[in-house]
Amino acid sequence: MAPWLKFLIPFASALAGLAVWVALGGLWGVALFIIFFLSGSIAGAIIFKRIATPKQIREDLEARLKND
């Protein structure tokens, strides 16, 4: 479940930011969209580190190295 949380939390916050952007429009909407996305990305990383087992963290790092 931990790897999915790393994806779902930023995705959900980006969707919320997109809804705010559509509702507000203009520069404030774009700024809040960026803030929502960045805060969701940070929250997703923190929650992943707290929930994931050492094996899942190792697999995540290995997958990143293979893809780069």
**Predicted pLDDT of residue 66:** 87
Of the candidates 15, 53, 50, 51, the residue with the CA atom closest to the CA atom of residue 36? 15
The structure's pTM equals 0.74
How many whole angstroms separate alpha carbon 40 and alpha carbon 34? Answer: 10
Local confidence pLDDT in tens for the 68 residues of the chain: 677 888 898 999 999 999 999 999 889 999 999 999 999 999 988 988 888 889 988 988 898 898 86
Q: Which residues fall within 8 angstroms of residue 24, CB to CB, at 6 or more apart? A: 32
**Predicted pLDDT of residue 52:** 87
How many whole angstroms separate alpha carbon 12 and alpha carbon 50? Answer: 19
Q: How many helices (H) and strands (E) does the chain have?
A: 3, 0
In the chain, where the domains are located: 2-63
